[in-house]
Each structure stands twice: as C-alpha cells, then as structure tokens.
Amino acid sequence: MVTGDPTSPVYAGEIQMPALGMAIDILASESETPVSVAATGQAGELVCRMPFPSQPVMFWGDNGNTRYKDAYFKRFGTSIWCQGDFVSMSPSTGGFVMLGRS
C-alpha cells in the first residue's frame, strides 16, 4: 500500500509514499464513521478508498467470501478496504510511519 521511491528523499523510520494506483488514507481508529486524520499526523487505520490493481476479490474455501469481507470491509463498510495496520503520516515529509497491526 505504501512504497519507496528512488527519486525522493529518505527519512529515518518512514516509508516514502503511496504505491502506484493506491488511493490510501488514514482514518481515525476510534470513529464509527470514516474520518480522515492523515493530514494531522495523528495515528489511525491505513485504508484504501478505491479498488486497487492487486486487490484480491475473494478467499478460496468454505465461507471464503464471508471471511474476505469480514477481514477487509467490516470496519468502514463495503467501499473502504481496511488493511489492519496502524500508521501515521508525517505532516512535514508526507512519509508514512508503520506503528503495528491495529
């Protein structure tokens, strides 16, 4: 969801930018509705607001579709992919700091 870029500055502890084709955002983890906190530097849930090129469409096996939806779309609804990572974005550099699983 986020990636390095060989043409951009590197800052210790940060991943530089969203990966190509990713409409990522950081949403407040304590909110029931999707509230972006990306520009504030506050930590929150790493999400993608649009379908992306490498997005799986289901899990195989019994109850695969139910497990898939529960894993990625239960938190903020059917149109926002919730990765399950707790992150923050530096307001000064735009880089992402991975803080762990949410």
Q: What is the pLDDT along the chain (102 residues), one digit of tens a residue?
A: 999 999 999 999 999 999 999 999 999 988 878 999 999 999 999 999 999 988 998 899 999 899 999 999 999 999 999 999 999 999 999 999 999 997
CATH of the domain at 90: 2.30.38.10
CB atoms within 10 A of CB 66: 11
pLDDT value for 36: 96
Domain count, the chain: 1
Name the 3-class secondary structure at 70: helix
Return d(Cα 25, Cα 41) in angstroms, integer: 12
DSSP result, 62-86: TTHHHHHHHHHTTTT-TTSEEEEEE
pLDDT value for 32: 79
pLDDT value for 50: 96
Contact 87, 101 (CB under 8 A): no
pLDDT value for 30: 87
pLDDT value for 102: 79
Domain of residue 11, residue span: 2-101
